[in-house]
Structure 1
């Protein structure tokens, strides 16, 4: 049977329409959402072609993961697993979850590696200086008060054995705020991996992990903020396909009393807020938990020690420090390839 020209034209139009629909379905859908967790905010962006990946279902699963991490590691929730350990005034072992075990072990590893620059037991000192759940002190703690609290700190007094957490001093208090946010980011990333999402960006309180780049092979672009409290401005832009980035600084979380500035980051050696010219540290790593912890440890070290540590361990690090003329940058060789044009 012969087809008329009109019939042939209709077939071609149908085929063209089908091709258009197929090409459209090949473009991944962008899904973005945000929420609150761990006393801050989170945001997630994913690209997916799978029609089963819808915003509501993904966010519901993300919220469950983050609630679990918070219920395990918060010091603000008196019912959390970590709070229960801190309230356990005994040197007897306490069985803990695998998640809490993993984070504590990583914190102790980095504490050893950085010679105590990171110390997950400085919580009582954080509280003493007014940066924890307790109220800000009316005056600077005395030397006697500092020494009394320092007796209750020290990562060497904490250990994990047979999935149990043990403290040598019953008054020891563990605070995972320097590492738990990063771990929360990693747990969300793990969830997205399980959902077979191959392109995503996850952020909690400024700590970020990225995977797979963006569509059309574009890299994820992230801004490192200028270390000033008077405005939101960009210091540098970095870009990468996969990896984690964390930044630590004291330009937002501090207070002033009688003309003196008090940082929320405590030096475990002195027991007091850090006093040096380093104002921001950014660390790129494979996982956010490590990037988060190292960023804090390097900040505690100060500029010169942080430079030496980064060189020794071939870390991708950017430091911003004060000078008489303003701010200066230091970038390790491993960090420089991450820089993007602004």
Structure 2
């Protein structure tokens, strides 16, 4: 049975509209205050006043994606449906948040929303919930039950006549890629390159993807095969670890 874990993304955002040139153009800061993400935000910027509006736009756009109360937000829809797709900054935020959950061994748990809501912090109707309510809601708090996939054929798919068809297409066949992989995650310095590589390697399949990696020096990768085996490239061996609950998964290291 699929378990739905409501998600609350706790954000710390630093938006800097500062540059040396701007600082030199004026010694007086431009300030503004606005309310977003249930928080009063104060900004002080040296330079072009329009940067204040740019900062507000960035925060407003992100809030529209990750709000747990806005029915149009991506996070809200995932909480309601049990699954979904995150885009752009929301996707990056989710990935980073889950990584911090793992690094802190659950001291940060982004699935804590049911508890926060019970205390009234999401509505302003503050109350101390009874212990029975808290213990019941705690059964819904477990970040390890959140499944996050990158470059996966299962991000967008449909089933027809007993077959599953996903959105990553093989340009050589015009059909969904069948390279024997479930997902590919690429690590590197350039996000755009990594994004393109994750799709390309998925289409190639493990053998050809390995060949490309072996003659490259600008990325590392994690491959999940259809049999559940995880393959990691040599550059990730010292920092890669399996999430809690997946300790028995077979992991193989690819070397040049």
TM-score (norm 2): 0.45
Please state which structure has a larger fraction of its residues in strand: 1
